[in-house]
Amino acid sequence: MNQKPQKIGLITTTSLVVGNMIGVGIFVLPAALAKYGSISLLGWVFTAIGAIILAKIFSNFSKIIVSKSGGPYAYSRAGFGDFIGFLMAWGYWVACWVGNGGIAIAIVGALSFFFPVLETHSLYQVSIGLALIWLFTWINSRGIKESGKVQVVTTVLKLLPLAFVIIVGLFFFNIDNFPAFNLTGASDLATFPIVAALTLYAFLGIECATIPAANVENPEITVPKATMIGTILTATVYILGTIVLFGILPMDTLQNSAAPFAEAAQLIAGDFGGYFVAVGVIISGLGVLNGWVLVTGQLPMATAKDNLFPKFFKKENKNGAPIISLVIGSVLSSLVMLMNFTEGLVDQFQIIVEIVVFVALIPYLFTAAAYILVIIDKNLHANSWVKTLVLGSLGMAFSIWAIYGTGSETVFYGFLLLMSGLPFYILMQWNKREK
């Protein structure tokens, strides 16, 4: 008996975008930016504009390819065919389950603030990390509505401490604390790309509303709205949060802080404020993990329905959840997390994370290019071909810059990771021709 597919609305879909972008990184990133000076605010603005351009492309695309899950995979395939579509799905899928392993590690690190024993006992670290991965796998196995509820709650709860520091922090703002424009001693032209690259990774996830599109109510309206609202809201939080921290904390304090938002909250509201933000960091990590586990299940299911991934990936349980996709993704995430706790592999893990970021950026480039091709192919560019070319070209230019910013070594190994999917593509094509 086929069940009616579960659907999520605008609030849940927007929470998926916001929740998957705002992770634990924003709670520490202003400290890393502080040593460069207030030029880092221009970095935020630049990447925010780039992210909004890409969000607009994804938003427009979701109105053309309606009720089709897969997001960047589906859009790349529409423009370039099965092979490129497969590569985008392969790379993005790998990026998801590797990233989930990293997120679990980051949550365990945040928990060590309250439970210092976690800093020294690997068994506890591993046990909690694995428990978190499989907790959210179970939640997602109950259907997209259940995981959506968790996403809404965690998104609201992670925004509360950030909003508290931003709003109340204005009353503690001291312009004398604000850093000089450029503290590096290098030229502005040399410094700007560095700070822009640092902020770039905070925007990964703008596409998340498009991935479960088949499970979204009125997707032609909801998905584009969620994509734009989520991206703009996130950018606003990032920029305002950094400005307020620059004005609250003295530079020597901010530059050396492991938890700048917590320190600012402590200055505002004493120990309670610090604990409030620390809890927010943990909740933020939990929300991110839930959201990306959802994506890790949805993407291979969408790809399998097009016969580009093995058919078992599209198997759904009684709740309409892609159960096999979820389990396989979480097994792989668990292995990644275990690898990080193996002595001697920490450096390798860092390299893997960097490669994953590169692989996640590649679909942005192909989506932007596919946007132009699909609109031309469907003859949708009448009276707006200039707008189409400008938007698509800006999206491609920003994506190329972002990929370049990951560094030559990352690009090289990221390319090899993409190419590692070729044997699987050949196997899938072989099976299709044998039938």
pLDDT in tens, 93-102: 999 998 898 8
Amino acid at 327: V
Residues pairing with 155 in the sheet: none
Q: Given CA atoms 330, 68, 428, 373 in this order, what sign does their dihedral have?
A: negative
In a domain, 184, yes or no: yes
Phi/psi zone of residue 315: left (φ > 0), alpha (ψ -120 to 50 degrees), beta? beta
In a domain, 5, yes or no: no
In a domain, 154, yes or no: yes
Apex 287 CA angle, 194 and 342, nearest 5: 70
pLDDT at 344: 46
CATH number of the structural domain spanning residue 151:
1.20.1740.10
Residues pairing with 8 in the sheet: 216
pLDDT at 201: 84
- Rounded CA-CA distance 151/148 in Å is 5
What is the span of the domain harbouring residue 37?
10-434
In a domain, 2, yes or no: no
In a domain, 1, yes or no: no
Rounded to two decimals, the pTM is 0.93
In a domain, 206, yes or no: yes
Q: Provide the terminal-to-terminal Cα distance of the chain, rounded to the nearest Å.
A: 27
- Rounded CA-CA distance 366/85 in Å is 9
In a domain, 174, yes or no: yes
Residue 109: Cβ within 10 Å count = 17
Of 235, 356, 349, residue with least CA distance to 296: 356
Looking at the structure of the chain, the number of domains it has is: 1
- Residue corresponding to tokens 């960097």: 354
Report, as ranges of residue numbers, the positions in the chain whose pLDDT lies below 50: 1, 344-345
C-alpha separations of 39 from 51, 69, 191, 235, 237 in Å: 19, 39, 8, 17, 18
pLDDT at 105: 86
In a domain, 165, yes or no: yes
